[in-house]
Amino acid sequence: MTGPRFEAFLARLYTDEPTRRRFLEDPATVARASGLSEEEVQAALDIDREGLMLTAESFEKKRARR
């Protein structure tokens, strides 16, 4: 179902705080603006937001330790 474009979108969500903030405010608009298919947009809308935030925080802490 998902391809490289969707995976790149997820990577941005996990690592780029401004993108993540915009996504949390208006997920459909941000997903469509990223060029995702409607199927991928729906998958993005189904993302566990709490899990997204926890994972993003974990990645940020790992980067800070380096």
pLDDT digits (tens, 9 = 90+) for 22-55: 999 999 999 999 999 999 999 999 999 999 999 9
> Residue 40 sits in which domain range?
4-65
15 φ/ψ angles, rounded to the nearest 5 degrees: -115, -15
The reported pLDDT for the residue numbered 2 is: 72
pTM of this prediction? 0.87
Domain tally for the chain? 1
Torsion of CA 6, 44, 17, 61, to 10 degrees: -80
Element (H, E) at 66: none
Residue bearing tokens 């993302």? 47
Distance, CA of 29 to CA of 8 (rounded, Å): 16
The reported pLDDT for the residue numbered 13 is: 96
